[in-house]
Amino acid sequence: MLLGMTIFSKIIRREVPADILFEDDKCLVFKDIYPKAPTHVLIVPKREITSLAEAAPEDQNLLGHLMLVAADMARKLGIAASGYRVVINTGAQGGQTVHHLHLHLMGGRSMAEGMG
C-alpha cells in the first residue's frame, strides 16, 4: 500500500531532519527522536509499506535485509555483545504510531523487564 507522506517518508526525502546513521538503496537508519533506551534507532525501508501486516511476498528479501541491517547496526553501535531488542510495532494494539513499517533497535540497558 502506498501512503505518500508519513514523517518517515519526509525524513527519507530529506524534507525533515533526522540524525541519520546509515543509508543504502533499500533503507535508512536514524535515531529515534524520543529514545526509550540509551541506544534507540529506527530501521526504515524506503519502500512505503504501511505495517508488517501489509507486507507482501515480494517484500521477503527487503524484510530480511532490514533484519540484517539491524544486526549490523547493533555491532556498529557497540551493543551486539551486551544484547539488544528489535521490535516491529504493528497496528493499533501493537502500539504503532507511524504508519510506515519500521524496526526499532534498542539497547544499552537491560531490555529484559518485559515487552511493555
Residue 73 is a binding residue for ligand 5GP (CB under 6 A): no
Q: Is 31 helix (H, G, I), strand (E, B) or coil?
A: strand
Residue 116 is a binding residue for ligand 5GP (CB under 6 A): no
State which of residues 1, 3, 33, 71 lies at the interface with ligand 5GP (CB under 6 A): 33
Q: Is 102 one of the catalytic residues? A: yes
Output the smallest distance, CB 55 to ligand 5GP, in A: 15
Output the smallest distance, CB 92 to ligand 5GP, in A: 11
Annotated active-site residue in 65, 99, 100, 102: 102
Closest CA to 102 of 56, 45, 34, 17: 45
Residue 18 is a binding residue for ligand 5GP (CB under 6 A): yes
Residue 98 is a binding residue for ligand 5GP (CB under 6 A): yes
Output the smallest distance, CB 81 to ligand 5GP, in A: 24
Q: Provide the β-strand partners of residue 29.
A: 22, 43
Task: Phi first, then psi: give them for residue 91, nearest 5 degrees.
Answer: 75, 180
Q: Is 73 helix (H, G, I), strand (E, B) or coil?
A: helix
From 52-60, 61-69, 74-82, 94-102, span contacting ligand 5GP (CB under 6 A) = 94-102
Q: DSSP per residue over 67-90, as a string? A: HHHHHHHHHHTT-TTT-EEEE---
Residue located via cell numbers 546513521: 21
Say how many C-beta atoms besides its own lie within 10 A of residue 101's C-beta.
26
